Amino acid sequence: MSGERLYIQPLTPAPSPQALGGDAVRLAGGMAWTRDFAVMVVRDGAVASRKLATPQTIAAVLGALPDGLAAEGEAQWANLRRAHPALAVPGGALRLDEPQVMGILNVTPDSFSDGGRHSADPGDHARAMLEAGAAIIDVGGESTRPGADPVWEGDEIARIVPAVQACAALGALISLDTRRAAVMEAGLAAGVHIVNDVAALGEDPRCAEVVAAAGVPVVLMHAPGGGANLHAGGRYANVLFDVFDALRDARDRAVAAGVEQSRIVLDPGIGFGKSLADNLALVNGLALFHGLGQPILFGASRKRMIGAISREAPADARLGGSVALALAAMQAGCQIVRVHDVHDTVQARDLWRAMRDRALTDFGGLADD
């Protein structure tokens, strides 16, 4: 990295704006409030200056920056406070003013979490997740775990089409987890509403064309590698800033290729080419990504980082860690959490939401001292 870059990182969660005399903002139009922000200037990969600000003081902090950085700061500050409209999908819309749960439907024989257990009856599992409160069903026909064998696109299509059709018969909002244009086309023809691309439309040169022509939302995920190994090349000067910059570049490439910016969702790619320390830094800094102005999807369900912290618990024994990470994402204002365990995550989300709702009235009748 050369030159100077500016980043505004939300720091301090707040129960409600009135609890702090109004000196807090609603993060990305969701149910999380934040008071303190770090305004950081990064030069040659290192933080050159760091100023703390609240909503009442940030204008002065940004005003003291050089013109180019001040303009970027104003843009990020506006994005951090931006209330996202509902995400338009074919035949409907997905609200983004509260966290939505995306349920994972793997139809792969080598999935790290379920080993293809749902391939024979995708409709039954999809129905169970919908009844448990999933807003989206994410169908995947290729394992992207480290060391997984590549899948021929014909096999991937044969796996996902019956699952998509089963979900469509249930009236589900369907996302398709793929990085291949031909698979996207087959899924869209079968009833897919959202494309979820772990390669951020970079694996296949036709992917952006397919998504743009279909006019559907797309999730652009960060992964440092490509081809057979999405996890390769994960070396970062600062993982938080480097992933932020990479997601901005991916978004801009997609827009240049004809994808509407209002249809783009970003995913920092927990576990893809990142160490345990990298993943923890990303979770701690998730709210930073709202500065890009796009909805954020977070997926860490049952991932290796949980096992690494919990005495090497296997994938099917990582429920507690998965829910804890999902709640951290909600508190950071992420609009979508992608999970295997829908019932438990929805229950946790609903309790978290009830506490947020109550916090907005806790101080309604109290005067300041």
Model-level pTM?
0.93
- Could you confirm whether 303 is annotated as catalytic? yes
Query: Are residue 208 and residue 345 in the same domain, yes or no?
Result: yes
Domain boundary among 80, 98, 128: 80
Query: Are residue 163 and residue 243 in the same domain, yes or no?
Result: yes
pLDDT at res. 1: 39
Q: Which domain holds residue 228?
A: 87-356
Query: Are residue 233 and residue 182 in the same domain, yes or no?
Result: yes
Only one residue has tokens 């927990």, namely: 270
296 is a domain residue:
yes
Query: Are residue 163 and residue 178 in the same domain, yes or no?
Result: yes
Query: Are residue 68 and residue 187 in the same domain, yes or no?
Result: no
**Blockwise average pLDDT, block size 10, the chain, 369 residues:** 85 89 93 96 92 97 94 97 96 95 89 60 94 98 76 92 97 97 98 97 94 98 84 89 97 97 98 96 98 98 95 94 98 97 98 92 57
Query: Are residue 228 and residue 243 in the same domain, yes or no?
Result: yes
pLDDT at res. 197: 97
Query: Are residue 74 and residue 127 in the same domain, yes or no?
Result: no
270 is a domain residue:
yes
Domain boundary among 39, 63, 80: 80
Query: Are residue 264 and residue 117 in the same domain, yes or no?
Result: yes
Query: Are residue 295 and residue 148 in the same domain, yes or no?
Result: yes
- Active-site annotation holder among 303, 304, 318, 349: 303
pLDDT at res. 230: 85
- Active-site annotation holder among 251, 302, 338, 356: 338
369 is a domain residue:
no
- Could you confirm whether 82 is annotated as catalytic? no
Tell how strand 136-140 and strand 174-177 pair up. Answer: parallel
* b/e 66-93 (16+ beta carbons within 10 angstroms → b): eeebeebbbebbebbebebeebbbeeee
Number of domains observed in the structure of the chain: 2
Only one residue has tokens 């509403």, namely: 193
Domain boundary among 56, 80, 104: 80
Helical ranges in 36-146 per DSSP H: 58-63, 67-80, 122-132
Query: Are residue 15 and residue 109 in the same domain, yes or no?
Result: no
